[in-house]
């Protein structure tokens, strides 16, 4: 099967063929998602919350992103793999962002990076694309900005969000991720650009959807946002399996003769 590329995604947008994207942080999950036909895998800095147990994405380091991107890159045959730039690789010197993107392309088998921000990131995006690093922009709710914004909140400023997406496209971004905006705003952004738009909490008038895999599988403990959906209850299945194992060992039911060497 041919690899999904930036060109594939553009064709999908042009043909109104919805793009599917999910997060992945390790080899077995990435393999399953790739084989299920997910078009794009995101090694998201959401792993700070759903894998590492932090309250925000801010503690995640570039070395950790590379470590996880290697596992996901090795696991996929078809999906395009996008790697988040963790805080503050996309906030301070542009050279630093280019170096981070170069690490992704040289040291993992992944294909692109994602960067939070729009208009104020145009120079950075242009410099990275010039250096040969494909960039997905991320507008709307930007989790790395949480302490400036004072919380995770719906983003409603249509003019600003449209300007952000246009500036990112103009700078050479191959796609724009839109997080947590009213459906009408996401539709306006999608109308304003030609590149694919990928929504999370952005309604259906976009080129594709992304969700956090741990959220849709029931692996996230505690709060999950309104815009996610549970497609499976894997967390419950794991808890049940572990409880069965404990009971079997305690009762002498495991291991059996056939599970032992004579
Ligand atoms: O890190 C992440 O999972 C994201 C989401 C928007 C999908 O950036
Ligand atoms: Na992210």
Q: How confident is the model over 164-196, as pLDDT tens digits?
A: 999 999 999 999 999 999 999 999 999 999 999
pLDDT at residue 171 in the model = 98
Do residues 198 and 208 touch, judged by C-beta distance below 8 A? yes
pLDDT at residue 22 in the model = 99
- This model of the complex carries an ipTM of 0.99
Dist. CA 85 → ligand 2 center (Å) = 8
Place of tokens 């993107």: 101
Pocket test for ligand 1, best of 22, 39, 40, 46 (most atoms within 8 A of CB): 46
How far, CA to CA in Å, does 31 sit from each of 87, 158, 230?
A: 27, 38, 20
- Catalytic annotation present for 179: yes
99 carries a ligand binding annotation:
no
- Annotated catalytic residue within 89, 169, 179, 233: 179
Protein residue with least CA distance to atom 1, ligand 1: 44
Three-class DSSP category at 107: helix
- What is the DSSP track for 235-249? HHHHHHHHHHHHHHH
Protein residue with least CA distance to atom 4, ligand 1: 44
Do residues 95 and 24 touch, judged by C-beta distance below 8 A? no
Overall size of the chain counted in residues:
262
Q: Mean pLDDT of all residues in the chain?
A: 98
pLDDT at residue 44 in the model = 99
pLDDT band (50, 70, 90) for residue 138: very high
pLDDT at residue 24 in the model = 99
Q: Residue range 87-93: average pLDDT?
A: 98
Do residues 139 and 178 touch, judged by C-beta distance below 8 A? yes
pLDDT at residue 262 in the model = 95
pLDDT band (50, 70, 90) for residue 32: very high
pLDDT at residue 66 in the model = 99
pTM: 0.98
pLDDT band (50, 70, 90) for residue 222: confident
Query: With 90 as the cut, is the pLDDT of residue 221 above it?
Result: no
Query: With 90 as the cut, is the pLDDT of residue 199 above it?
Result: yes
Query: With 90 as the cut, is the pLDDT of residue 214 above it?
Result: yes
Ligand nearest to the CA of 215: 1
What percent of the chain has a predicted confidence (pLDDT) above 90? 98
Structural domains of the chain, with CATH: 6-231 (3.20.20.60), 233-262 (no CATH)
């Amino acid at each position: 099967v041919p690899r999904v590329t930036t060109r594939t995604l553009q064709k999908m947008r042009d043909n109104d063929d919805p793009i599917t994207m999910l997060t992945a942080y390790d080899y077995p999950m990435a393999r399953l998602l790739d084989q299920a036909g997910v078009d794009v895998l995101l090694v998201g800095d959401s792993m700070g919350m759903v894998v590492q147990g932090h309250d925000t994405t801010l503690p995640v380091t570039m070395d950790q992103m590379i470590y996880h991107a290697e596992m996901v890159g090795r696991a996929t045959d078809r999906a395009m793999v996008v790697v988040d730039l963790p805080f503050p690789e996309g906030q301070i010197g542009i050279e630093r962002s280019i170096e981070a993107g170069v690490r992704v392309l040289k040291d993992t088998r992944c294909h692109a990076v994602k960067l939070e921000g729009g208009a104020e990131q145009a120079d950075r995006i242009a410099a990275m694309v010039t250096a040969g690093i494909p960039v997905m922009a991320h507008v709307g709710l930007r989790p790395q900005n949480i302490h400036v914004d004072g919380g995770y909140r719906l983003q409603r400023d249509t003019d600003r969000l449209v300007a952000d997406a246009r500036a990112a496209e103009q700078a050479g971004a191959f796609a724009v991720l839109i997080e947590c905006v009213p459906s009408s705003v996401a539709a306006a952004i999608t109308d304003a650009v030609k590149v694919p738009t990928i929504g999370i909490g952005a309604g259906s008038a976009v080129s594709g959807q992304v969700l956090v895999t741990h959220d849709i599988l029931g692996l996230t403990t505690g709060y999950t946002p309104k815009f996610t959906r549970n497609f499976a209850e894997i967390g419950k299945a794991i808890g049940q399996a572990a409880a069965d194992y404990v009971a079997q060992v305690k009762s002498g039911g495991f291991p059996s003769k056939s599970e032992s060497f004579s």
